Amino acid sequence: MAQAAHRPLLDALGERIASGELQPGVVLTLAGLESEYGVSRTVVRETVRVLEAMGMLESRRRVGLTVRPVNQWNALDSQLIAWQLTGPRRDQQLVVVNELRAAIEPVAARLSATRASDVERAELTRLADQLNELGSQGRGDSEEYLRADIAFHDLILDSSGNLMLAATKSAIAAVISGRSREGLTPPTPHHEALHNHLQTAAAIARGDAEAAEHHTRRYVDAVLSEVRSLS
């Protein structure tokens, strides 16, 4: 699929706002952005439309485009999380999204143990085995491991049967991807982490809600402790 014409400007401007280079209250103009980046007014307008939808910009007549306060941004937007992970707020963002995981994933795993279909239980087991195999081969920092890891956590949230929990998938996937891109995922994952992924899948497969929640909490708490040590 061809890249949208506004994508380069969106990334450039989004990263500047997300990093704090453009502070809340700063006022921009369509004409100024058009001139600074050498793009058409159409590209600028489309970029602004996306950033407004994310809560990062506010457009007002006779004022211009105002950068909004951080607490008004759509914090769960996966693109925003990706921008924040490339800037000086990286460590803080790793912590806050993993705090979200710690609050949500164990509950989702408990629900999954009672609600997942047979197909979902089998797929979770397969993904856990794949993660264990790749990790044991020293490929924990590979794209293949990353894809399997995201699929594993996505499926736990989906199979919980709770649409509100599942709605956090993109945010959690964004921070898993970001952690990998930043070189923070070790080639050989900790044995305990792989073990708890296997145990989580096994508990869900046999319908053991308490064990599913326990083992999920073990691995998300371990990741949270790790990222907190960075900040």
Instruction: Estimate the crossing angle of helix 90-115 against helix 143-159, to 10 degrees.
Output: 50
pTM of the entire predicted model: 0.86
Confidence (pLDDT) at 191: 87
Residues 170-196: b if buried by 16+ CB within 10 A, e if exposed = ebbbbbbbbbbeeebbeeebeeebbbb
Confidence (pLDDT) at 231: 67
DSSP letter string, the chain: -PPPTTHHHHHHHHHHHHHTSS-TT-EE-HHHHHHHHT--HHHHHHHHHHHHHTTSEEEETTTEEEEPPGGGS-TT-HHHHHHHTTSTTHHHHHHHHHHHHHHHHHHHHHHHHHH--HHHHHHHHHHHHHHHHHHHTT-TTSHHHHHHHHHHHHHHHHHTT-HHHHTTHHHHHHHHHHHHHTT-S-SS--HHHHHHHHHHHHHHHHT-HHHHHHHHHHHHHHHHHHHHTT-
pLDDT by residue for the chain (231 residues), tens digit each? 335 678 999 999 999 999 999 999 999 999 999 999 999 999 999 999 999 999 999 999 888 999 999 999 999 999 999 999 888 888 888 899 999 999 999 999 999 999 999 999 999 999 999 999 999 999 999 999 999 999 999 999 999 999 999 999 999 999 899 888 888 888 998 888 899 999 999 999 999 999 999 999 999 998 888 888 876
Confidence (pLDDT) at 1: 31
